[in-house]
Amino acid sequence: MPCYNLTKHSALFPNPESLPGPGPYYTCLVPMADLPGFPFEYSLYFSPDHDPGQGGIWLYVCTGNPLEPSNWMSYEEAVAAGHFDHVEDRPAQNPIYLDHTQGAGHTETPHANVVDGVLHMTYHKNGLEGTQRTLLATSTDGITFNRLNGDDDSVVLRYDQQTEPGDGHTGYFRWSRNPFPGISQRWVGYSLHGGSDNYYSALWASEDAIEWTRLDILSPIEGLAVNRDDMLLIWHEIDPTSIQSLGNGEFVAITGVGNRASGGVERITELYEIFLAEDGRTLTRQSRKILSAGDPGSADTEELSSPTSVTINGTTHLIYVGAAKKGGVNTILGATGVLDAADLPPELPELLKRRHIHTRPLTPNNSPITLKRASKDNIPFLVRMNREMDEEMGEENWTDDRYEARFYAWLNGSHWDVDLIERAGNVIGYTAHQRRQDHFDRSIRVLFIRHFFIERDQRRIGIGRTAYETLIDQRTQNLPVTLDILPTSPDALGFWRKLGFETYYTVLKKESPQEDLL
């Protein structure tokens, strides 16, 4: 039983006719009690989904239960009813906000909070320093917005994509008042850190919700703390208002878990609860699914994303976006439930809790890959990487002493060669290999690769291929290459097949039949 035990509800309202297809995207539910004079209890800000035009920010408003469809009205309906007559220069209709000053393309992915009586709304745009950046606009009435610095630069999240991971994209920012005692600032949030398939996420903090400091870069790693090897935690999908203390130094939060998808690639996303330490980025436990894709024909049969919530009298009221019809229709949906931490999932091994945190020095994306012979001083690195490789392949973990004994033997005059794989001077993997007779044709000498490991946050960006090509260039002496793959490692099999390897022989194994004879 998950901590967040949620029940789905119906759609909150029909998609606005003025909203470009496939419909609403990146919802943000905001309690408005702290914004003086705002005539409703809640606002829901959202944008179109990757509109090829100008996009924009739409507004719907609500008083009462935000999961009751009859409580919602569009901004146009609220204006017609006179609720915003006190705002002299109010927008005539949705979208209530478009940034025509900085950048190009669509204005999208709003996220907002009331900060000291002023609504602060972040969003992102294209065409900013060759990438997409998060900007900030503020409002004293909730409907008319001014860019942070007027006609001047209003970007609040940026980094140098020439020297740091990713292409510079800092959009999809979701932030809230800081719930983590391990972070000192008042506000905390998660954003994208580089777009397309080879993205990262980032954790940010701020005292005033204007000047943001990046605390860490977070690597998306397939299979880490989730129950499918092809899915990953989407850190910038965390609903920050769902983060709740469990009373034991841990926190639970709702986020999306999905595949690597960008642009027109089909997205697969469902909602999970994840467990975090007091620093907001260390994982503590295995994640659990809390809302699954719906049945065929339902509004969320393909995707659940953009979770945003509020807790009312102990009940979580969650709003999310469902996708159906091959991504052709988005719908704003809801779910309710209570938080019960009586049954927690297993703790993660210590080795995995911070595996996703990008702690190595940041290097240019085009830094060359080099090989360096390992020495006994490198054994602690080799033990850690060998252990992680075994875990990924489903192998039984050895004790540290046994791993150390292996590498001492290999590095002390055995017939095995061990190379560190380096990028800009940082160790990102290793390989163990041997020149020997072919197992089946003793007349042929081959290079046999026993171990080939690349750190997870360095994968899927061409580094593995480059490392292999460097190995071939420097170590094979024009010999054929062979290696063994376990059936528990389909990702590794796919990697080697992409490099041109074909099945050479198959080894079958059957455990001792003694028990069958008893």
* pLDDT confidence of residue 513: 63
Characterize 266-299 residue by residue with b for buried, 16 or more Cβ atoms within 10 angstroms of its Cβ, and e for exposed.
Answer: ebbbbbbbbbbbebbbbbbbbbbebbebbeeeeb
> Is the model's pLDDT at 128 over the cut of 80?
yes
User: Do the beta carbons of residue 194 and residue 214 sit within 8 Å?
Assistant: no
Burial profile 461-488: b = 16 or more Cβ within 10 angstroms, e = fewer: eebbeebbebbeeebeeebebbbebeee
User: pLDDT value at position 261?
Assistant: 65
* DSSP 8-state symbol, 377: G
pLDDT(415) > 90: no
328-343 pLDDT, tens digit per residue, is 999 999 999 999 999 9
* Model pLDDT, residue 341: 93
CATH 2.115.10-classified regions of the chain: 4-37+46-345
What is residue 193's three-state secondary structure? strand
Token representation of residue 7:
């029940």
Percentage of residues in the chain with pLDDT exceeding 90? 73
Q: Kindly report the pTM of this predicted structure.
A: 0.74
Quote the pLDDT of residue 264.
Answer: 59
Residue 71: both structure tokens together: 């409580």
Give the mean model confidence (pLDDT) for residues 289-304: 95
**pLDDT higher than 60, residue 364:** no
Q: Which fold is adopted by the domain 4-37+46-345?
A: Tachylectin-2; Chain A (2.115.10)
Q: What is the pLDDT of residues 82-101, one digit of tens each?
A: 999 999 999 999 999 999 99
The pLDDT confidence band at residue 123, using thresholds 50, 70 and 90, is very high
pLDDT at 393: 85
Q: Residue range 457-461: average pLDDT?
A: 77
Query: What is the three-class DSSP state of 71?
Result: helix
Instruction: Name the segment(s) of the chain with CATH classification 3.40.630.30.
Output: 369-498
Whether residue 360 is predicted with pLDDT greater than 60 in this model: the reply is no
pLDDT tens digits, one per residue of 134-151: 999 999 999 999 999 999
**Omega before residue 220 within 30° of 0, cis:** no
Q: Are strands 426-437 and 146-147 parallel, antiparallel or unpaired?
A: unpaired
Mean pLDDT over the full length of the chain: 91
Burial class of residue 248, CB neighbours in 10 A (0-12, 13-18, 19+): exposed
pLDDT at 349: 85
User: Is the pLDDT at 453 greater than 90, yes or no?
Assistant: yes
What is the percent of the chain where pLDDT is above 70?
Answer: 96
Tens-place pLDDT, residues 18-77: 999 999 999 999 999 999 999 999 999 999 998 999 999 999 999 999 999 999 999 999
pLDDT at 489: 80
Question: Residue 362: its pLDDT value, please?
Answer: 46
- pLDDT at residue 344, rounded to an integer: 96
Q: State yes or no: pLDDT of 265 exceeds 70.
A: no
pLDDT for res 184: 92
Q: What is the mean pLDDT of residues 147-168?
A: 92
Instruction: Band the pLDDT of 262: cuts 50, 70, 90.
Output: low
Q: Residue 397: pLDDT above 70? A: yes
d(CA 404, CA 385): 12
Tell me what the mean pLDDT of segment 175-181 comes to: 96
Strand pairing of 445-454 and 481-483?
Answer: parallel
Calculate mean pLDDT across residues 280-304.
96
pLDDT band with cut points at 50, 70 and 90 for residue 518: very low
- The hierarchical CATH code for the domain 369-498 is 3.40.630.30
For residue 146, the surrounding DSSP H or E stretch is strand 146-147
